[in-house]
Every structure is written in structure tokens, then in C-alpha cells.
Chains A and B, each alone.
Chain A
Amino acid sequence: MNIRYEETQGRSLGFYALIAGLGVFILAALGAVYYMEHHGHYVTGMSNRIVWGIPHVFALFLIVAASGALNVASIASVFNKKMYKPLSRLSGLVALALLAGGLMVLVLDLGRPDRLIIAMTEYNFKSIFAWNIILYNGFFVIVAVYLWMMFERRMNKFTSKAGLAAFSWRLILTTGTGSIFGFLVARQAYDAVIMAPMFIIMSFAFGLAFFILILMASYKWTERPLGDAVVNRLGSLLGVFVAVVMYFVAVKHLGNLYLAENAGVENFILFDGGIYTQLFWLGQIVLGGLIPMALIYHPALKDNRSTLGLASILVLIGGVIQLYIIIVGGQAYPMEMFPGKEILEGYGGIAAYTPSLPEIMLGVGGIAVALIAVTFLVKILPFLPESLADKVADSHQQA
């Protein structure tokens, strides 16, 4: 049985309300950028100690989630699980949209966003940032080609090859994103190669959470059938990913605690770091890890879409918090400049950072850009199967 894809109508009041709502956030973000660029970054919470603030948190969160959102398509075309095949187009779209949102935030938080052309023409191949610029641009091209193979019947036969290329590229891309931090030898909070694989598994969880929410919302709002088989499968997968993220977090912190050099920053994050310690235990571990897993696996809540939706939202909130702790918390703790000595004056101490409203508006604007892109594109091109009812998914699986 062939899957029939169809554009969404996009004429309802709800559609326009959604566009208008997201548009407000995007306009607010652009206004915030104008304000910050016009005055300079002194109007933000950042400083020479906390050089990457909340915009970078959102930017990296979206970029990491983008590569993860592509996993659903990869499972279908690389690992040949037919049940995921009808979801592949949406998976590619969500991946591109999230990456666009993340990159917008990243670029607009630069000190000189007007010089973006320099970043595209002057490359220092030793710089992980420069690699990332190539990896991000390549991701757009490869996923676009991958989508074309899926859309164009004549090209369908190349889908699995394109899928393999996209899957490999996304693994390298997230390795690159994690390595932005992994190779910073001067900073005790970062200098660990485990950052790269940890970012990959984080991307699995965040990307799938975004995908589940977008899938459930679009089928509900367009009143198309969405069967439990698909949703539950995605739900249990999300639970596994969340568990693996927690495993990597545990290994990273235990490994760091073992090294005397890193004991200071570990104690800071885990035990006496005030807001960062609270965010770690309550935000990242409980809210973003344990509660979502309970919501997904508790027998009483099985097959419940509302709780799966809530679990996905919590995974995303936990993800933002996790990146906040890594990025801002990691900078707040001073570098070990004089081992065996205490710095009394001139440097040291915990750097203060309070996110300013414009920074938050820019970050949230990135999410809005991603969502508005998805909303428009499912109206323009047939990304969504007209039905994902169980019998469609099942028969397709057996086919």
C-alpha cells in the first residue's frame, strides 16, 4: 500500500493564529537584535568572563536538536525500518528548520553579524568553528538532496544512499558541535573528548522530542488520523535516548571528579554552585530526565499522548537547562591559572551572569523561526502523509 502525502490546507483561523503568534516572537527577536547591535553588547548580561550567554544556549540547543531530528528518517532509510518511512519527509524538514533557527541566533549574536561574508570566505582550517560553518552549510545541501530523493519518484531508488550520506554527515556535524567545547584546553569545565559523543546522544533526545511534538500537533490540528503504533514507538525510543543522555552525563561528571585539577569545577556544578547546582539537579536531572522517563514508562500512563507530549516538552526544557549549565556554568567558574595558588585580586571568583530580556527574545526567536518554517513548508509541499492510522502504518510495515 502506497503512502499518500498531502499538503496541509493552511486556511483555517488556527493556521493564521499560529503564524501570527510565531511572527510576534520573530519580530521581537529582530527588534532585540537591532537594540543589541545598535547599543553594543553592554545592554546584554554578557561580559568578558561570560562571553557566550543565553543566545548561544538556544543556538546550540537548536543546532544539536536539528541533527537529532533527522534520526527518524535515518532509521527508515539507513536501518530499513519501514514503519518510520512515512515520517521521513517531516523528519528532514524539521531538521532543516531547527538548524536554520539555531544558525540565525548564532549569527545574530555575533559582535559583527554584518561580516557574515567573512566567515564564509576566510577559513582557518584549524578552527573547529570554521569546520562547523562547512558542516552546517553541507547539512543543508545534503538534507535538501535527501528530501528530493524522497519526493521525486524517479529518484526514490537513491533514497537509502542519500540517507546514509545524511546520517554520516549529521554524526560528524554533532561531533563538530561538541568539539567546540571538547578542545578548549584552558577550561577545566570543557576539556574532555566525551563532549562530542555526549552531544550526539543529546541530539538524539532533543531532536526526537521536537519531532514528536511537531508530529502530534500537526496531525491533531489538521485532523488527520495518527495511530498509536507510531506514536508509542517514538515515545519508547525517546525514553531510551533520555536514559542514555543521563548515562553520559554521569560518566562525564564521575570522570572529571577523579581528576584533582577538575575537582573545583565539578564541586561547583554538582554541590555548591548555587543556581547552577539547582539547575543541574532539579532542572536537568529531575525535570529533564527522571520525570520524562517516568511519564513514558509508567504502566498507568502508557499510550497516553498528553503525557508523552508533556514528557517531550520536559526533555526540551531539560535540554536548554543542560546547555545553560555547560555553556554559562562552565564559563562562570574561573580557569585554573595558578595551580597551588589562590588569586586574591584581579581575576577569579564566580563570574556573574543574568540573562537580559533581549538575549532571551533572540533565543526564543530562533525556535519561532524553526516552527514557522515547518508550518509554511508543510502547506507548500506534501511532507505529511494524509493518514498515519495504525492500519496504514502496519500494512506499510509488512509491505
Chain B
Amino acid sequence: MSKTLNRRDFIKTSSATAVGVATIASGITLTTFAANANENPVTNAKRWGMLIDTNKLTEVEIDGMVSACQQENGWGGEVHSTGDQKPTWVKKLKVKDKATGRITSLPLMCQHCEEPPCVDVCPTNASMKREDGIVLVDKHLCIGCRYCMMACPYDARSFVHEDLTDQREHMPRGKGTVESCTLCVHRVDKGETPACAASVNSDAVIFGDLYDATSKINQTLKKVQSTQIRADLNLNTGVRYSGI
């Protein structure tokens, strides 16, 4: 004879299970959040930025920055995408002054604006700016509309055109969503510098907290002349350049 489950038993068992699951699940969640919050509180007391001195930076070093980023974040191995379809989180640009003919090379990536146009136009809040100024895409909210790519003045964003393999554990990416430089947020949160900055051995690229008066980037910016790309747009970029 098969055992039948009466209503009382069913309610008893299922509520006990539910309470159990809820207890364990909430415990896990709380612990996870607590760990993060204690170690790395993200607040607007910091503003991460980067100063790139194009006079000191060689072309080889810029190529090295691009490779370091590819290595760290796992982009660039796409097999089907061609030319402009390939993701580019950072690229080497060569510009020539129209009057003097002076040629400058520079790395160009997401400029981590204080007023990011990509965040303004994003319909689903997938494009967002952290309190500490790092501009990111939430890959779970991105619907792939590409409006942020239309809005970005720096051509800094890429759309993933194909299925991806061999992704980095700390940097999930996805076909059909938009991505860009994260300022190596996973490293910054551990107290490290972004991979591109770490790849340069001189002080041609300085990473740090723009607000911290004792930081090297803050002190250097006080001394040297620097500029923001498309400063006329008033976006107040986190990435600054000197020498262009």
C-alpha cells in the first residue's frame, strides 16, 4: 500500500523545509555582503582616476598596456568577429597636430566620466557609475540596445558579436551585451592597480585616488599641465592626459 500524504503532513513538511532554506539562504547572503562591506566599502570619498603622460609613454608600452588588458580581462580572442566587430577595451591612437605636424600616441579607453553619457541614455540602468567613479555595465541588466555606444564620445564601448569561450572567472562577458574598460575593478577592490597601469614600468601611467591629497596622482596633477579629451563636453573624466 502506498503511503499517502495528508494535508497536515504536507503543510508541516513544506513549512519546515521553507523555514530551513530561508534560514540558510539568508545566512549565506548576509555573510557575503558583510565580508564585502567590511573590506571594501565603496563610497564617494574616493574618485579613482588615471593620469597618462604621453611624452613619457612609448608606443611599445602602449601596445603592452593593450596586451595586459586582453590578458587580464580575456578579450581579443574572438574568432568570428572581423575588423570593427572585435571588442576593444583599450586601443592605441596616433594623432597629428594639424598645424605643427607633431605626432602623439596615446592609449584610449573608457574615460570613467563623472557625468557619463552612457549612463544617462541606458534605458535599464545597466550602464552605471559606482560611488568611487568607476563606470561599469551590469551584464545581467544589459539588453544589448547599444544606445550607450551611440552616446559615448570616446568610442570606448564594444558589443559582443559572438559566443565566447575561455572567459576569466572575475570578468564575466556575454554575447549580445555591451562591455568596456572596468578600470580593472576586481583588482582595484583588492587594493591593486589596473592591469594596464601595472604593465608600465615608469611613472608614465599613474593610477590612484584623485581626491586623496597624499596620492601620487593628485600631487602630480597639481604640478603638471593636464587635459581631458573632449573637455568641452564637461563630463569631468577620471582618465587625464598630459602631453597631448
**Which chain B residue lies CB-closest to A338?**
B95
Q: Do the beta carbons of A186 and B151 come within 8 Å of each other?
A: yes
Known: A119-B124, A331-B150, A340-B97. A110 touches B162 (CB 8 A): no
Alpha-carbon gap, A133 to B125, bound state (A): 14
Q: Do the beta carbons of A51 and B149 come within 8 Å of each other?
A: yes
Name the segment of A22-30, A38-46, A143-151, A293-301 touching the other chain. A38-46
Interface status of B152 (Cβ within 8 A of chain A): yes
Give every chain B residue within 8 A of A130 (Cβ-Cβ).
Answer: 123-124
Interface status of B76 (Cβ within 8 A of chain A): no
Interface status of B121 (Cβ within 8 A of chain A): yes
Interface size class of A (residues with CB under 8 A): 35 or more
Q: Do the beta carbons of A111 and B143 come within 8 Å of each other?
A: yes
Interface status of B142 (Cβ within 8 A of chain A): yes
Q: Do the beta carbons of A124 and B91 come within 8 Å of each other?
A: no
Interface centre among B93, B108, B178 (most CB of A within 10 A): B93
Give every chain B residue within 8 A of A337 (Cβ-Cβ).
Answer: 153-155, 229-230
Q: Within the complex, which residue of B87, B142, B232 is in contact with A112, where a contact is CB–CB below 8 Å?
A: B142
Instruction: Find residues 53-108 in chain B having any chain A CB closer than 8 Å to their own CB.
Output: 80-88, 91-99, 103, 108
Interface status of A1 (Cβ within 8 A of chain B): no
Give every chain A residue within 8 A of B177 (Cβ-Cβ).
Answer: 111-112
Q: Within the complex, which residue of B80, B94, B145, B151 is in contact with A110, where a contact is CB–CB below 8 Å?
A: B145
Interface status of B144 (Cβ within 8 A of chain A): yes
**Which chain A residue lies CB-closest to B157?**
A48
Interface status of B159 (Cβ within 8 A of chain A): yes
Q: Within the complex, which residue of B81, B97, B125, B155 is in contact with A347, where a contact is CB–CB below 8 Å?
A: B155
Interface status of A52 (Cβ within 8 A of chain B): yes
Interface residue count on the B side (C-beta < 8 Å): 60
Q: Do the beta carbons of A124 and B143 come within 8 Å of each other?
A: no
Alpha-carbon gap, A339 to B141, bound state (A): 35
Q: Do the beta carbons of B81 and A42 come within 8 Å of each other?
A: yes
Interface status of A116 (Cβ within 8 A of chain B): yes
Alpha-carbon gap, A341 to B99, bound state (A): 8
Q: Do the beta carbons of B94 and A40 come within 8 Å of each other?
A: no
Interface status of A275 (Cβ within 8 A of chain B): no
Give every chain B residue within 8 A of A342 (Cβ-Cβ).
Answer: 95-96, 98
Interface centre among A118, A127, A180, A342 (most CB of B within 10 A): A127
In terms of DSSP, what is the predominant structure of the interface of chain A? loop
Interface status of B192 (Cβ within 8 A of chain A): no
Alpha-carbon gap, A357 to B161, bound state (A): 17
Q: Do the beta carbons of A51 and B150 come within 8 Å of each other?
A: yes
Q: Do the beta carbons of B149 and A48 come within 8 Å of each other?
A: yes
Give every chain A residue within 8 A of B96 (Cβ-Cβ).
Answer: 341-344
Q: Do the beta carbons of B233 and A42 come within 8 Å of each other?
A: no
Interface status of A223 (Cβ within 8 A of chain B): no
Q: Do the beta carbons of B84 and A351 come within 8 Å of each other?
A: yes
Q: Do the beta carbons of B92 and A346 come within 8 Å of each other?
A: yes
Q: Do the beta carbons of A48 and B153 come within 8 Å of each other?
A: no
Q: Do the beta carbons of A127 and B162 come within 8 Å of each other?
A: no
Q: Do the beta carbons of B123 and A123 come within 8 Å of each other?
A: yes
Q: Do the beta carbons of B124 and A344 come within 8 Å of each other?
A: no
The distance from the CB of B142 to the nearest CB of chain A, in whole angstroms, is 7
Instruction: Find residues 101-158 in chain A having any chain B CB closer than 8 Å to their own CB.
Output: 110-113, 115-116, 118-119, 122-124, 126-130, 133
Known: A52-B150, A185-B117, A343-B94. A42 touches B161 (CB 8 A): yes
**Which chain A residue lies CB-closest to B177?**
A111
Alpha-carbon gap, A344 to B98, bound state (A): 11
Give every chain A residue within 8 A of B85 (Cβ-Cβ).
Answer: 41-42, 46-48
Alpha-carbon gap, A344 to B88, bound state (A): 18
Give every chain A residue within 8 A of B95 (Cβ-Cβ).
Answer: 338, 341-344
Alpha-carbon gap, A104 to B158, bound state (A): 24
Given contacts A48-B88, A340-B99, A347-B108, 5 further A-B contacts (CB under 8 A): A48-B158, A110-B144, A111-B159, A115-B143, A124-B123
Which positions in B face A, CB cutoff 8 Å?
Answer: 80-88, 91-99, 103, 108, 117, 119-126, 141-147, 149-155, 157-163, 174-178, 229-230, 232-233, 244
Q: Which 10 A-B pairs have the closest CB atoms?
A: A111-B144, A111-B176, A186-B153, A47-B84, A346-B93, A129-B123, A345-B94, A42-B161, A40-B162, A51-B146
Q: Jot down 26 A-B pairs with beta carbons below 8 A, ordered by A.
A: A40-B160, A41-B162, A42-B82, A48-B85, A48-B157, A49-B84, A110-B144, A111-B160, A111-B176, A112-B142, A112-B174, A118-B124, A122-B123, A122-B126, A124-B120, A129-B145, A129-B147, A130-B124, A184-B117, A186-B152, A331-B150, A341-B95, A341-B96, A343-B96, A347-B91, A351-B84
